[in-house]
Amino acid sequence: MTIITSDISSRDAYLLLSSCVLPRPIAWVTSVSSDGTVNAAPFSFFNVVSTDPPMVMIAVSKRKGQPKDTARNISETRTFVVNVVNESLAETMNLTSADFPESVSEIELAGLTLAPSLRIPVPGILLSPIRLECKLHTQLEIGNAPTDMIIGEIVAFHINDDVMTDGRIDVRKLKAIGRLSGSNYCRTTELFRMERAKGM
């Protein structure tokens, strides 16, 4: 099968992309509105974009042409926290994925406890095994919809000791989950190793 992009709708393109690019890590982002409401929302269009300085990217689609709470909050405060989602947090994370009015705090709705950040005013989610404090580096509108592409510079890492082995994050202990297509997710507990190939 060959599909010409110009022949399909943006919805069909989304369905294709979310089935082709996988598994995708999940950024459970906390941000704060101008009135102090803490927002939490998960995004699976998320990845690392730089290591010097360390930076991550999330893509936040608009809702009916308007920025979602997360994108608006980040634009206003220029700070946010990426919270890593493990198996034990999956159901709670999913609760926060629903569309709520701006005045509703997903934190309160899901019964989450917040953890203060060190370098930014936005708190993280206490039970998240890894929290990345981020300052906004770049925010761009891309695409026809458009989508807010947000790049954050990590200014502090918070890593729970119980996911560490010999000073490194142990993926077997972390038990992060990934997003597949539709309502499907995956675990990261079945691993195999391949050493990187060497050149000539």
**Domains of the chain, each with CATH number or no CATH:** 26-183 (2.30.110.10)
* Torsion, CA 130, CA 136, CA 140, CA 141, rounded to 10: 70
Instruction: Write down the H helix ranges in the chain.
Output: 10-20, 69-77, 90-95, 106-110, 171-174
Whole-structure pTM value: 0.94
Residues 6+ apart with CB under 8 A from 20: none
pLDDT digits (tens, 9 = 90+) for 97-118: 988 887 778 898 899 999 999 9
Averaged pLDDT, 27-54 = 95
* Torsion, CA 142, CA 69, CA 188, CA 116, rounded to 10: 130
Averaged pLDDT, 4-10 = 92
Q: How many residues does the chain have?
A: 200
